[in-house]
Structures are given as structure tokens and as C-alpha cells.
Structure 1
Amino acid sequence: MRGESVVVVGAGQAGCQVAVSLREQGHRGPITLIGDEAQKPYQRPPLTKAYLAGETDLAGLVLRQDSYYEDHGIKLVTGERVLGVDRSARVAVLGCARTIGYDHLVFATGARPRPLPIPGAEHVLNLRSVADADVLRQRLDGQVGLDVVVIGGGFIGLELAAVVRKLRHEVTVVETQPQVMQRAVTPETARQLVNRHRSEGVQVLTGRGVAAVREGLVELTDGTVLVADLVVAGIGVLPNTEVAQRSGLATDNGIVVDAHLRTVDQRVHAVGDCARFASTLTGGLTRLESVQNATDQATCVAGAILGSAEPYTALPWFWSDQYDVKLQIAGLTEGHDRAVTVGDPAEGRFSVFCFRGDKLVGVEAYNKPIDFIMARRVLEGGNTLTPEIVARPGFDLRGSLQRAA
């Protein structure tokens, strides 16, 4: 197994980490990493923050220096798209009918921005790639006071709004749900994020959508018309599953894989944003979009290719930086039925403990990094916290764990 060939389709965070982990775990066979962007593998999270703000350049985003791939025998193919996979012949098909053979293939094809199904969508920018960020930087650079409308109040939309506001432009965020980040955070955390944005002068409009975009105008579903020099959408992503589907693999909001991240073809895996995996945490199929998930799944798949029988069980965690707010989330809070807030939200430092029944399933730490660190330990280890314990006056997570030890 250590001498077999591996082809990785997709050169983002997950794909690059598969190649790196294979070498770190002792794989000696050929590794080919194929990406459809011209750039070497790079980090995406800084695109909405430091890169857009001009605080770093492309060199500051790369995951590995150029010499790394050559030094570790990883064949990096950029600017090429895999058009199909012939699983019976074990070959990946590129343009001009070129093929690359494999013993194992890993889909790390990521995701693309969800299209905006409205008139005038061609006037709307997205922010997913370096190329997208470069276009947006060019439009914002050297000017102040532009009217910018951000469609979508999720992670990407709010991070983008914070940076654009710091660049001294007028910003309006439009969110169709009654709460920003509705599927990701509790109402208390969402309320404090909105308050922080409004304190910076951002207009946040919830419970209404965008009906149409005209040149210089955005029409909302309630009849409101916004002036807009620039419109950017951050309404989520769709997993890139087309090649896997054409190769006969099951797809359902992602490439369907088991707890070992394998498809029905034991020699084909999927990782990262494109993978819908059998989660040991939720008991069902789950697809996650985070750097942690991408890197941990990549490490797991490298081990599987080399013969490990360990399933993917890593605890999910997420983060978002907006102004001086660092929001860190440990676990999966979706579907919780009780939340206990510890600390004073008005002071800008608090944590929300989310329970399903009496079981702690996740913690949102708002400018409380120590709670985030401790919450990960609790969720990864023996989780004995109950809503009643957390709700006691003066409860402190670190102190509670120290006493328990």
C-alpha cells in the first residue's frame, strides 16, 4: 500500500493536506495533486479578512512553498480540470483526453458559491477564490464611501461586511432569515454580532430577501430599494460533485462516504467541503465546511489509504473574526433544545452552552478563548456537564474542570 499511486482531485486545503499527510505517514508511492486554479494551494479563510483588507498578499496565503512539492515527490498540476474518472480502468481523465492512472483516488473538489436566482444576478460578485478577492479589492481600492450591499448574513457575509466597513465604505447586510447566522449560532450570539456591526455603522436588515439587482440599485422583497455601487453575495455554497456523479458514485448534497470517508468504491475517498460523511457524532450523513474538518479528514484518509481502520471522529470546531470579536464554536450546536449563557453579553465576553436534552453538544465562545479550549476538552472527553450545573451562579468552565480533576 505504501508504494501505490494516489491521485487527489482538488488542490485546496483538504487536497493539499491529503498529499502532505500521506508523506508524513510514510507513503512512498507517486502522489499527483490536481487543482483547477492557476495558483498553488492556498488558504481561503483570509480572503474575507487580511487579504481583502490588503494586509497580506498571495505569498502569505500559500499552504506550502513551491520547493515543498518537489522535495517531497508530490506532482502538483495547476490550472487543470479533471473531467471524469473511469473507475474500472482506474484513471482520471483531464483535458485533451489525457489520463492519469491511480491505485487510490481522493475527491477534494470543494464547493462553489450558491447562485443567486434573481434578475440582475450578473451584477453581483462572489468571494470564494483569490480571483474573486482580486476583483473585489480592485473595486474597493483607493476609494472611500462606496455603498456596498452584502447579500447574506452568514460567516462569509458578516466577515466581508466587517472588512469593507473598516475600509471606510457604507455597508448594508441583507439576510432573508429573521436572524443572522441562523443555522450556525444561537439567538444571543447573533444578537451581539448584529449589535457590534451596527455600532460600526453597518445597516443589518433581516427577514427580507433580494428581489432584483439593477445597475446601481438593489430591490428587496418588501419593496425597499437600496443604492449600491457594489453588490456581493455570501449565501452559502454548493458542493462540487459533478465528476463523482458522472463516475457513478452516490451524491446527496455532497459525495456520500462512510465513516472512513470511503465511497462505495473502496479505492475512492472524498474529503472536505464536498464530502457528506456518516458522522459518529450526529448518527447521520453530515457535510461540514471548515478548515478543521478539511485537514482532519485529509489526515484520516491518508491513514485509511495506508491501511488504518480508524473512522473519522474528530470534533468539529469553527471560528470567525469580525472587528475585535473572535467567535469560536466547539461541537455541533444544530438541533440543540436548550442554551445556557455564562457571562454578560453586554460586556462583549460570554459563552453559550448548547444542550440536546441533558447532553452538551456545543459551546459558542464570544471573546472567551479559554472557554473554547476547555469546551473542546469536555466534548472530546468525558462530558458530564448538565444544564443545571452550567446555570449555577458563578459557574466557570475552567474552574469546574480543575475541581473535577
Structure 2
Amino acid sequence: MYPLVSAVNKVDFAFILIYSIAAVVLLGITFAMVYFLFKYNKKRHPEPADIKGNLLAEVLWTVIPTIIFMGMFFVGWDSFVALRSVPKNAIEINVEGKMWSWKFTYPNGKVDKELYVPINKPVKLNITSADVIHSFYVPAYRIKIDAVPGLTTYAWFNPNKKGDYDILCAEYCGVRHAYMLSKVHVVDEEEYAKFISGEKEKTANVTLPELLDKYGCSDCHSLNGEVLVGPPLNDIKGRKTIVIIDGKEKEIVADEKYIKDSILYPGKEIVKDFENIMPPYDGEIPENELNTLVDLMLNKKQEISNIEVGKKLIDDEGCTGCHSTDGSIIAAPSFKNLYNAKKQVIKDGKEYTVTADEEYIYVSTKYPEREIVKGFDPIMPPFDYLTDEQIKAITEYIKSLK
């Protein structure tokens, strides 16, 4: 059995070896080319030489590439075996990819959109897909394996360092492919036990965005009125909608029964002008969570706060790709402590000090090229299509990051 940390090391060694050999070959060929260019140029050798053969050269360029190839093959095979040799004591977690999110089912039946694992415990992932081919990709653990409908593949890793690590889809799977993101959270055993037992969920009132995120609904449906792959879910209570039933159009009113049926059996009534690509959630969502989800959508329990809408907007629009929410610098100023902060900006070639208030956030969102924060590149695209209400929600969220 391979040591738990060896799989990543062996993969890294295979890549380093291949890149090193490629670099040596590149330098060798380049040096030889330049050498022959000067040594055997036309001025020195006006008459080309006729080389009939060289046994030593023939042997060398047969034996040396063979040794190189076999060496790379052995190292690659060794790393492959390490990646496929799962320790017997590994925790097994089921992974399902669907357009456009990941679902993780834990040994006790708990379901979550993100992967939580205890530190220093090997983890085996049983991977499949509910619709099309996806590719489960965790760069930190050198995992990249296809999720195929009707087939279960597997991968394993040993989380030997606490932290959060990116999960991506490495196979183009449709229009929201770029949003098929998640995280591996490596935590201590006590925190993992609390997560598995559900104590984390009991400590807070669940919100609509949290439930939608948990079951991947927010990958296709927005809460701000924006049309994504599916109809928006804001103000759905009592909404009149044209649906297709058995090839015929029918107007319905979005009530509790319709919303439940649309979640459990989405293929029965397809909203006009949208594709029938939503998977059925019958048996996927516990009844208590389904009822909570419907109640929240009908505003029976709580209204969606502007802060929640703003957070969802920022995530949907990809703002956190450049702006962090924890104070760290990525490619632009962090949203944390941004509101009412003093900023040095460049406007019309001159430097000014401004206060990041509501007006500043509004202008910076719609017309970011007008005032460039000093020290940062003007790479932000304009978001002039956002409504005033949407920018107000974004501002409320930024205010909350104090």
C-alpha cells in the first residue's frame, strides 16, 4: 500500500521529470541547431557533404529515446497506481455532478453542496453524474476524473493540511459550466463530527439562498430577476406563467402545489421558452426541507433581505473573482471594510481622494473606468445593465462586510 501523501508527490514528480526532460531536449536541439548553423554554413562548406551513415549515431538515437520513454512510462505508471490505490480505512463520500453544481452525500446520508473532510483521514470519492459528462477537478490534490451518467468512477486523497481548496468542472457541460464551483473544507475531527451530525445547520435559521445553493438551484435560477437557464424565482408567489403540458400551452398561477410539482417533477410542466433540462428532485430533498423551501419562496416565513440578494448578485456576476470578502487582495480592492473607506483614485490623469459611499459604489459598478483605484489596473468591465435596486442590494451587502 502506498503512503497516504505519496500520490500527490508521485504525480508532481512525474510532471517535474517530464518537464525537465523536455527542457533538456529543447536546449540540446537549440544548441545543436545554432552550432551546426555556424560550423557548417555555406561560406565554410560551399559543397554539401554526403553522409552515408553512422552506426554510433543510429544506436544512440534509438537507445537514448527508448530509455527516456521507458523512464517516463515507469514514473507515470507509478503515480497512476498511487492514485488508484485507496486505503482500506478511507471515508467514502458520494459525489454527483449535475448542471451546474456538485452534490456530496456523506456516510450518514447528509447532503451538502460543499465537501467537508477531517484532517489526516483518507477520503474516497465515488463520482457520477445526473445528466451530462462533467469532470471533477481538485488541483490541490491532483484529482481530475470524469463524472459520467450511469457510471461510478472514484478518486481518493489524503487531506493533510487544514484549509479550503477549489473544486471545479474541467469538462465543458453547458452554458453555466464556469459557475460549477465548490470547495473542499479540511477541518479538524471535532468540527467534521458537528457538520455530519447537523449541528451546524441547527445553530442558524436557514435562508432561501442557502437552500437554493445547497441543492444547486441557484446555478440556473436567480433571485434578482435575471433570466439565467431557468426562470427567476423572485416574486414568484401568484405569478402567472405560460407552461407547456403535453405540447399545449396553458396559463397557471404559481401556488404551493405548482412550486412543489415543479421541483419534484419538472418535466410535467415546462415554462414556455425554457428547455426541459432540470432534473427531478423527487427523493432528493427531505420533505421538511422541501416544505421550508416552498414556504420561503412564497414568503411565508421570511422576506429575502437586501444583504442576501446582494451577496447572491456578487456571486452570480463573478465579482469575487477579483474582489475578496476577507480583506485579502486578489486583482482589485477587497469588499471588506470598503464602505466609507478613503480611496486614492485616478480620474482624467489626476489623483483624488474619495469616500467609498453609496454614490461611489454606484458609479464604480456601472462605469468603473471613470475612477481607477490607485495601484490597480483598469480591467473591470462595466455593469451598466444592473438596475438601481440591484446595485442598492450590492451596496447593502458591502456595508455588512465591516
- Taking structure 2 as the reference length, the TM-score comes to 0.23
Decide which structure has the larger Cα Rg and report it. Answer: 2
- Larger RCO, structure (CA 8 Å, separation 6 or more): 1
Q: Which has the higher strand share?
A: 1
- Taking structure 1 as the reference length, the TM-score comes to 0.23
